[in-house]
Amino acid sequence: MTMVELKNVSRVYLGQSGPVYGLSAFDLRIAEGEFVCIVGPSGCGKTTLLNIVAGFEPPDLGEVLIDGEKITGPGTNRFVMFQEHALFPWLNVSQNIMFGLKMAGIHKREREERAAALLRTVNLSDFSTAWIHELSGGMKQRVALARALIMDPEILLMDEPFAALDSQTRDTLHEEVELVWQRTKKTILFVTHNVREAVRLGTRVILMTAKGGKILREYPIDLPRNRYLEDVEVVKIASQIRDDLRHEVLRATKEEGYHAD
Amino acid sequence: MPIEQEEQSDIAKVRFFAQGYHVWRGRAARLGFFALLIAIWQVAASLELWNEVIFPHPKEVADAVVLGMRDGTLPLAIQASMQRLCMGYGISLLIGIPLGLLLGRKRLLDDTVGSLAVGLQALPSICWLPMAVLWFGLSETAMQFVIIMGSLMSITLSVRDGVKTIPTLYLRAASILGATGWRFYWYVLLPASLPAIITGAKLGWSFAWRSLMAAELLYVTSGIGSTLMMGRELHDMALVVAAMILIITIGLLTDRLIFRFVESLIHRRWGFGGRG
């Protein structure tokens, strides 16, 4: 069943030197339970795509359907994990995790039980009363993950959530995301610039064009799970995608050169 | 293991004493500096370079404070001023904080009411006194009006600016967490702009304090400003200086005791980066 559907979506920004296409006539279908990773050179519109699906930005043209229904703004059926944690500094760890449930009017005892269970899932039980600034980068993203999971959204949108972390921390978080996806079969749209990360996690990797906001190529990843970043197959597919990416970047730079002449 | 723990606690002790040393050295330096100033004052007064009426002895000023405290005139004056201040300032906070939150969020309101507030802020608060006296007569209400007009705009505008600089990330997180309507204002916007609210409250307090002193000076009733004016009329320079020192003391005390405390609470919660 189709969970997310983008139909002919365009988003244009007015830059200093003319219009910049975040997305143009963009079509995409994501089935329920898919783990789709978007990669592309920086400035290719991958974050625009995520913001539009989240409802943070409206598309200039076209529409986005979630479960067959057109979206008009942010909603609690989609949850976003940002590159920076976006946790509230005025609340402690467990208050941050419970915040969404509090807004939904769920009783305090239930909130606390569910938060405690999720803190165990992300291995942060000892830090439930810590303030956000006391945590390391990896711990913050684990709290952000718990805060996302407690909302039980249909779709998880992840905007380079692990880009700022060191590689060991990132490995652990990959495992946690993998576990969550296998256990809950949530639909995940994951934006990253790290090709190997995309191959390690995704059921499908989408490479975007450097300019113009279009899909360049799609790669179904049929490798068995769990995968690791060092798996030969992962490395092989990733290097193929990286080659395509490099060609695309070169092509775009050349084109730019012609324009400059 | 026990050795390591002991070492750790030693490090903590050293840190603690090092920090304490810096704090106490700072305090000693400050104390010494002011003692020196008073000593210079004492010497200058003893040399009798100026007439005693225009340049009183430190002891006379101290006597004026002690006498005023004993006969109850100074406590009464302080009480009268503080009551006015708390009332007017309290009303300013009650109006200014919600208004600032709204202005930061509602574009139309900011373009209209916001620009009015910016305009009015250019007017020194004491300029409201003639209007206040014509409207409310020589009354407490007139004083309150001056205090409110003096502090309301700065509180409102500080809070508004704070709201406008809340990271988009928090606002986006709020929207996907389902914080809408009043819940958004109460659970997200208010705490997120707390640092700005404290800044605004502090600024508002100092504006209110200045407005009150100006009003009490111009229009004699009770209060410390009036005590200061009375000193002038009686040619009692010691009383004038005593009143001035009291005004400084009250200003410093509120800053140190109330605002520093709240600010340090917030800094601790937010981490060192302010809004990180």
> What ipTM, to 2 d.p.?
0.87
**B265 part of contact set with chain A, CB < 8 Å:** no
Top residue of A72, A88, A95, A101 to mutate, by most chain B CBs within 10 Å, is A88
Q: How many angstroms separate the CA of residue A79 from the nearest CA in chain B? A: 6
Tokens of B6: 């002991």
CB contact under 8 A, A103 and B170: no
CA–CA distance, B213 with B78 (Å, rounded to integer): 11
Tokens of A157: 């949108």
Contacts of B276 in chain A (CB under 8 A): 89, 133
CB contact under 8 A, B172 and A100: no
Secondary structure of chain A in the HEC alphabet? CEEEEEEEEEEEEEECCEEEEEEEEEEEEEECCCEEEEECCCCCCHHHHHHHHHCCCCCCEEEEEECCEECCCCCCCEEEECCCCCCCCCCEHHHHHHHHHHHCCCCHHHHHHHHHHHHHHCCCHHHCCCEHHHCCHHHHHHHHHHHHHHCCCCEEEEECCCCCCCHHHHHHHHHHHHHHHHHHCCEEEEECCCHHHHHHHCCEEEEECCCCCCEEEEEECCCCCCCCCCCHHHHHHHHHHHHHHHHHHHHHHHHHHHHHC
Residue among A79, A91, A131 whose CB faces B176 most closely: A79
Chain centre to alpha carbon of residue B73: 24
CB contact under 8 A, A78 and B176: yes
CB contact under 8 A, A89 and B275: yes
Q: Residues 164-183, chain B: which have Cβ within 8 Å of A?
A: 169-170, 172-173, 175-180, 183
Within 13 A of A20's CA, how many CA atoms are on the CB side? 12
Contacts of B192 in chain A (CB under 8 A): 88, 90
**B2 part of contact set with chain A, CB < 8 Å:** no
Domain spans of chain B? Answer: 1-49, 53-270
Tokens of B214: 């100006």
Per-residue pLDDT tens for A130-164? 999 999 989 999 999 999 999 989 999 999 999 88
Give residue B272's pLDDT band: very low, low, confident or very high (50, 70, 90): low
Give residue B18's pLDDT band: very low, low, confident or very high (50, 70, 90): confident
Q: What is the pLDDT of residue B1?
A: 45
Does residue A261 register a pLDDT over 60? no
Percent of chain B scoring above 90 in pLDDT: 57
Question: What CATH number has the domain spanning B53-270?
Answer: 1.10.3720.10
Contacts of B272 in chain A (CB under 8 A): 133
Chain B residue with CA closest to A87: the answer is: B170
Does residue B12 register a pLDDT over 80? no
Query: What mean pLDDT is predicted for residues A19-47?
Result: 90
Give residue B220's pLDDT band: very low, low, confident or very high (50, 70, 90): low
Percent of chain B scoring above 70 in pLDDT: 95
Query: What mean pLDDT is predicted for residues B85-94?
Result: 95
Q: What is the pLDDT of residue B275?
A: 41
Among the listed ranges A108-117, B84-93, B202-211, B228-237, which one has the minimum average pLDDT value? B228-237
Per-residue pLDDT tens for A239-251? 999 999 999 989 8
Per-residue pLDDT tens for A159-198? 999 988 888 989 989 998 999 899 989 999 999 989 999 9
CB contact under 8 A, A74 and B176: yes
Give residue B247's pLDDT band: very low, low, confident or very high (50, 70, 90): very high
Phi, psi of A186 (to 5 degrees): -75, 155
**B194 part of contact set with chain A, CB < 8 Å:** yes
Which stretches within B106-236 are classed as H helix? 107-109, 115-121, 129-136, 140-164, 168-176, 181-183, 190-192, 194-218, 224-233
Query: In the A/B pair of chains, how many CB contacts fall below 8 A?
Result: 70
Residues of A with CB under 8 A from a CB of B: 54-56, 73-76, 78-80, 82, 84, 86-91, 99-100, 102-104, 131-134, 147, 151
Query: What mean pLDDT is predicted for residues B28-45?
Result: 92
Chain A residue with CA closest to B266: the answer is: A90
Top residue of B168, B171, B176 to mutate, by most chain A CBs within 10 Å, is B176
Residues 6+ apart with CB under 8 A from B265: none
| Contact between residue B240 and residue B232 where contact means Cβ atoms under 8 Å apart | yes
* Backbone CA torsion sign across B83, B85, B86, B88: positive
CB contact under 8 A, A102 and B187: yes
Query: What mean pLDDT is predicted for residues A92-115?
Result: 94
Does residue A69 register a pLDDT over 60? yes
Among the listed ranges A31-35, A100-104, B226-230, which one has the minimum average pLDDT value? B226-230
